[in-house]
Structure 1
């Protein structure tokens, strides 16, 4: 408690303190200042550049889209309840909530994928310069002048951090935390741990570059192999939708006619008279929307290894179901 008051200038500084204590106070003061500067950093970034911030942190898109969807939903239910159109209102409210996040997730995945493509080249170039006798900060400063696609911007940020006195390892950790992907985290962890253990950095960088190259190659092979299952999911949904459409256009009218005939004959209350074709079609409409939404999530998980990547498939399949029932059934 006394230390916190001292850092906040609530207690006077003792002029008789030794040099070691003064150094600790200075370091702690700097650390506290850095921690305070990091507070609300995402909010500051959002105010400065909302679009770029949401591309980096797509989860925060829900903070904007969900309240907007709730407002649309509440107003729609108040004006149209209990008409069947409330189904459309609920459907488009859900789309309003997830569509912006889906776009941002897709943009981030493309951005990160392009960065990961250049990561092995970046690590290999740093390794070669380290073998040539350059220090790591100097090597990064040299590489920052080159062209590495989407990774160039991040390299320049790492170079800026090191020019401020941040170590090579900490600048890599900051980069890995921002990207938050398995491949980058794996490569950075390998480099930092080997560096702390006293290994030869050039060899570690070369090993990390080889590892990143192999992982990206395996990912491309997996995506190619899983594309077949993605097509199967789409085809299965179309078959499901076709069966539902046939039931709605042939079976339901037949059942409705039979129910009316049974009612006219005086036996409707015992067997077919209570059949409601509109309710039956509405239930199948709900089933199609649910099937499309969850099939899309499964497609994203199988095809791209992330459920969030399936949001775009969920939107596409759900929209196909909605268009089918709205305009053709």
Structure 2
């Protein structure tokens, strides 16, 4: 997590603490200020969420082109060159964001660093299970000897197939994100209908002197409390749905931070606009 993320988290936590302190200090009760809670939630979730999104895009770009680079190394090794020379030759190709990384590996090899060490440093800089496993396999292949070109081609093809299967898996799971969002919208609409239709009529029935009010185990002060509870539930539901969307999207809770911030803040804004808070 970089400085931007840490600053956002610190500011969000500070906003929550300050808001709760002054709200309790001047209002005399412990009813939470949802404005500051939502603001703090957004400030806590958005900076690290954006940071994670940018990092994941970079990693995915590297992982998608790494098998192509391995395949080009295999092609270069067909002429009898060793792995170090093959990497140097293949590093002249265009691999998008991966190009800078492979050129760095080639430069380290030219400076006299062993190919195993240069590849290990590359894996450490881009520390994901896919990259580490692929690079470790290449290093073991180089140490064991044999037909380098054939083995590297096999590694490249296998890794491409693994990427395809993983992509297919999460593509199918992403359809459930739509279901989660629709479920949240339905719940939000239910709360809006309660705020616009049910609670006003209930308030009319609970006016003093109305004999029908005896049917309810409530009073007029209970309605705002119920609305506050529903508002809190909308925010919590938005955060939970967001994190679940991240898990279904790529298997990580961190990916759900932006979803959580968007759903929670959007639900709260809708309640503000309809006057339910």
Using structure 1 for the length normalisation, give the TM-score: 0.75
Higher Cα Rg: structure 1 or 2?
Answer: 1
Q: Report the counterpart of residue 182 of structure 1 in structure 2.
A: 129
Q: Report the counterpart of residue 208 of structure 1 in structure 2.
A: 155
1:316 aligned onto 2:262: yes
SS in structure 1 at match of 2:93: coil
Distance 1:266 1:313 in 2: 44
Alignment equivalent of 1:289, drawn from 235, 239, 245: 235
What displacement does 1:319 show?
A: 1.7
Unaligned 5+ residue runs, structure 1? 1-57
CA contact 1:297–1:311 (8 Å) conserved in 2 = yes
What displacement does 1:270 show?
A: 8.6
Query: Structure 1 stretch 148-157 or stretch 172-181: which is displaced more?
Result: 172-181
CA contact 1:127–1:203 (8 Å) conserved in 2 = yes
Kindly indicate whether structure 1 or structure 2 has the higher relative contact order, using CA contacts under 8 Å at least 6 residues apart: 2
Unaligned 5+ residue runs, structure 2? none
What displacement does 1:226 show?
A: 1.9
SS in structure 2 at match of 1:282: helix
SS in structure 2 at match of 1:195: helix
1:240 aligned onto 2:187: yes
SS in structure 2 at match of 1:260: coil
Q: Deviations for 1:159-198, whole angstroms, at most 9, x for unmatched residues?
A: 1222232222222222222222222122112222333334
Aligned length: 271
Q: Deviations for 1:235-294, whole angstroms, at most 9, x for unmatched residues?
A: 111111111111222222222222224x65597699333652211111101101110111
Distance 1:164 1:64 in 2: 39
Q: Report the counterpart of residue 35 of structure 2 in structure 1.
A: 88
Q: Report the counterpart of residue 10 of structure 2 in structure 1.
A: 67
Distance 1:182 1:289 in 2: 34
The aligned runs of 1:151-162 (5 Å cut-off) are 151-162=98-109
Q: Report the counterpart of residue 5 of structure 1 in structure 2.
A: none
Q: Deviations for 1:145-167, whole angstroms, at most 9, x for unmatched residues?
A: 22110100111111122223222
CA contact 1:268–1:274 (8 Å) conserved in 2 = no
SS in structure 2 at match of 1:66: helix
Distance 1:285 1:238 in 2: 14
C-alpha RMSD over aligned residues: 2.4
Query: Structure 1 stretch 270-279 or stretch 318-327: which is displaced more?
Result: 270-279
